[in-house]
Chain A
Amino acid sequence: MHDLEVGEHLFRFPGGLKLRHHKQIACRDPLARPDMPEALYLPLQQHQGPVGELLVQPGDRVLKGQPLSRARNDREVPVHAPTSGTIKAIQSWPVSWPPDSEAECLVLEPDGEETWTETTAVQDWRQTDPADLIEHIRAAGLAGLGGAMFPTAAKLRGDWQQVHTLILNGSECEPYISCDEMLMRERPGAIVEGGLILARALGAERVVIAIEDQMGAVDKSLPRALAEYDPDDIYRIVEVTTIYPEGGEKQLIQVLTGAEVPHDGLPQDLGLACLNVGTAAAARDAVIEGRPLIERIVTVSGPGIAHPRNLVALLGTPVRDLLAAAGGLDGDVERLVLGGPMSGLPLASDRIPVTKGSNCILVLRREDTRRDQPVMPCINCGECVRVCPANLLPQELFKYLQAEAYEEADSLDLFDCIECGCCAHVCPSHIPLVDWYRHGKGVLRERGIEDARAQKARQRFEAREKRLSEEKEQLRRRREQREEKLKSGGDAKSEVQAAIERARSKSAGPDKEGDR
């Protein structure tokens, strides 16, 4: 792997679909901000983890950018006040995940002043220790802006060997979503600088930005930014063919390297880290300007919205306010989708707030979702097999799940389904395949059968925590021993001798711990 540079040759992934793009309709107007909402709703439990220890109470006045919670480990992601105002309550409020549910949210009533709290930027990030950079990024509340909301700090450090290449994912492959394209047009410099910061945090030598071959204007804006911010020439821009889901992390890695992420492993095991371009820009804002993650670009698009466009929204803004800022609904709207048409989540209410992973609100009318056939039995046509990027047998999985043979579905690698929706999109029998897979995974998890990756990730996390605490414990014990020895007037000379021997044996062989 090391000898082949990422993105030098492009590879194909199996399956996938060529879809109509529909992205440009939301890129015609420049970025805009919706009016300040009456209240912002900040969920305490987000898609990929809790926000940590709460620092405020109802009644508190908060300033813009002030931390409202504190992360106790890399799995937690703090939230910050998106604007200045008063914490009104902590109350149950509709959220996007799981579908049609409510969760505890901090309710922040803006005062309209937008008074910033005091922020701390990193002085010279090029000289800053990577661990401090990661600490800073963690404190700024960064989580994957591509939609999964995976805690960024947990991607930057962990139990793996060297990461040599950082991949910035700018290939949002789903139709309609254009927030990344917009960002790459409007703030290419921020992405490039942010990528350099993330690369330093990771210890990566190269950065690859993957964009789609159908993106307008980006192929000019990015090179200009590179000329300005990348004097050492460690970047490479790679245009990938627009085939859904080539922007999925696993597929993108396959396209760029020809290698596959092991089913129980991470991209980091291949020496790669994959982050969204939006996350890179947010890292730059956090490190260079000291600005935590309090807003993001959201695409509001689809056949059911009057003026599709991209908006810069404060986290916590209800979807309803975004719809209004995009000209309001148009037609007999019956579905709101968070994300794209292929894999997005249906929203149960327009009161659901924007979170760090909200890339797109798709507005669909009745006629857009109508099916002119009921669900039929599987006719084994194999279309789903042809398009599955994970090389699964979707129809076999379905047959097992339908027969409630969950363990068999697991043995056919149900957990490796990335829920891209390709299979269901081509199924002539209109079987809601993705719903079945989600249901099946849920049942298996309830039975204590875990996805191999999650299992290993948890083990790794626990191992790391354990090691850290053991190291602390050892240090403490050593100090105690030393103190005792000193107290008991031990042999100072042998102490020095031992230290010299330790140093010698260390320089003799490679130090396993040294690469951390």
Chain B
Amino acid sequence: MKLTLAGPPHFPPINTVSGVMKQVLYALVPGIAAHVWFFGFGILFQIALAVGFALALEAAMLRLRDRPLKPFLTDYSAVVTAVLFALCMPPLAPWWIALTGMVFAIVVAKHFYGGLGHNLFNPAMVGFAAVIVAFPLDLSQWLAPRQLSPGLPGLWQTAQAIFTGSLPETLSWDALSQATPLDALKTGVAENRLVTEIRDAPIFGDFGGLGWEWIANFYALGGFWLLYRRVISWHVPVALLATVVVITVPMWLMGPDINPSPMQHIFSGALVLAAFFIATDPVSGCSTMKGRLVFGAGVAILTLAIRRFGGYPDGVAFAVLLMNMAVPLIDRLTRPRTYGH
């Protein structure tokens, strides 16, 4: 009998990194499906492109850094980064946007800092921030949802648009594209129009943007499943969403004409996605449970501030990156009291 002497515990751990990452991906499936329903196949192309680039870049960087390929290529962390990035892209964004984004996400944000587990910033959001700063125009080309569209582009047309950068002659941008609800609000308010008036536009739905609110619902569904499976802890999503409500309710009650309702805030843009999938990124987030509450609240406050005062219609990415910087400080200030101390 040959005995092994590894230390306790003696049964293997109940989780694996790839297991955690895969569950995050499963949880995104309903939201992606809703996205396809409302905006067509574009998002699937964006995901495929981003994942392809991400894995290729990950492999190249592992090679360069002389790290084993297999465990890190199969841990699905790069895939999660890529998918989250792709979900923030307009459906018909040209292919090189995904490439640029992944270079910043995988090469710069992840591997320059030491690879899996060592990145200070959320890689998907670094990628997003890079492309929105570099190519603001291309990132504003959003499609109108199915209900308002003369006809969503089909598979082939989508591929053409993404890879050649121009639409097939049968389609025109003017007919297809549409400002996102957040854009519309921002420009509307800037033109001194009333929120209620702006909201009369057909792109708004019952409480958020038309289509968008349903996608958010399905993201939330996946998020609840992650909570139930304990893949993420409740701290970040609860703190984030609660803070949005706490801040926007009084403002909305005081000035419903100039301030969007809390529901409008939550159900447009990437807020729900951020609450459950982006701000919950473990590596670049807080280690302590109290710290996660602070982190979530901080993301909410900064997002609202950027939406209200900033130059970008949605501020989630920048809010997350700013909070990433505060993590070491928050962690230090929120250390729990050790038993018996």
Contact residues of A with B, CB < 8 Å?
14, 99-100, 250, 254, 260-263, 265, 329, 333-337, 339, 341-350, 362, 364, 368-374, 376-383, 385-386, 389-393, 395-396, 412-413, 416, 419, 421, 424-430, 432, 434-435, 438
Contacts and interface: CB of A to CB of B under 8 A. Distances in A.
Contact of A429 (B3, B17, B118): B17
A424 B15 CA distance: 10
Given A263-B338, A346-B5, A381 B289 contact: no
B12 A369 contact: yes
26 contacts: A100-B5, A250-B340, A254-B339, A335-B6, A343-B8, A346-B7, A346-B10, A349-B3, A364-B11, A369-B6, A370-B12, A372-B12, A373-B17, A377-B117, A377-B118, A382-B287, A382-B289, A383-B15, A393-B287, A393-B288, A395-B287, A416-B339, A426-B13, A426-B14, A426-B15, A428-B17
Contacts of B288: 385, 393
Given A260-B339, A438-B7, A428 B13 contact: yes
Nearest to A343: B8
B20 A428 contact: yes
Contact of B20 (A329, A339, A381): A381
Contacts of B335: 393, 412
Contacts of A434: 7-9
B116 A377 contact: yes
A390 B16 contact: no
Contact of A334 (B4, B15, B287, B336): B4
Contact of B8 (A345, A382, A427): A345
Interface in B286-340: 287-289, 292, 331, 335-340
A362 B10 contact: yes
Nearest to B10: A341
B4 A335 contact: yes
A223 B68 CA distance: 60
B205 interface: no
A421 B10 CA distance: 9
Contacts of B285: 380
Give the dominant DSSP class at A's interface. loop
A428 B3 contact: no
A66 B19 CA distance: 58
Contact of B71 (A254, A376, A424): A376
Contacts, number: 170
B336 A391 contact: yes
A421 B2 CA distance: 24
B3 to A, nearest CB: 6
B16 A428 contact: yes
Of all A-B residue pairs in the complex, the 7 with the closest CB atoms, nearest first, are A377-B117, A263-B340, A428-B15, A421-B9, A435-B7, A413-B338, A381-B282
A418 B143 CA distance: 57
A99 B287 contact: no
Nearest to B340: A263
A261 B340 contact: yes
A391 B289 CA distance: 11
Give the dominant DSSP class at B's interface. loop
Nearest to A337: B10
A432 B6 contact: yes
Contacts of A382: 233, 282, 287, 289, 292
Contacts of A435: 6-7
Nearest to A366: B4
B1 to A, nearest CB: 6
Contacts of A262: 340
B188 interface: no
Interface string B9-47: 111111111111000000000000000000000000000
A430 B7 contact: no
A335 B339 contact: no
A333 B10 contact: no
Contacts of A260: 339-340
B8 A344 contact: yes
Contacts of B13: 371, 424-428, 430
A385 B10 contact: no
A429 B117 CA distance: 10
A493 B118 CA distance: 85
B9 A343 contact: yes
Given A377-B118, A379-B282, A426-B14, A389 B339 contact: yes
Contacts of B116: 376-377, 379
B20 A385 contact: no
B249 to A, nearest CB: 30
Given A380-B117, A381-B20, A416 B15 contact: no
A336 B5 CA distance: 9
Nearest to B118: A377
Contacts of A383: 15
A385 B336 CA distance: 10
Contacts of A421: 8-9
A434 B5 CA distance: 14
B3 A373 contact: no
B10 A350 contact: no
B283 interface: yes
A348 B3 CA distance: 6
Question: Which of A250, A261, A345, A383 is packed against the most chain B CB atoms within 10 Å?
Answer: A383
A391 B77 CA distance: 28
Interface in B108-153: 115-118
Contact of A374 (B2, B71, B282, B336): B71
Nearest to A427: B13
B16 A430 contact: yes
Given A376-B75, A377-B116, A428-B15, A250 B3 contact: no
A9 B28 CA distance: 44
Interface in B52-84: 68, 71-72, 75, 77
A515 to B, nearest CB: 25
A344 B292 CA distance: 33
A284 to B, nearest CB: 32
A352 to B, nearest CB: 10
B341 A413 contact: yes
A425 B1 contact: no
A391 B287 CA distance: 12
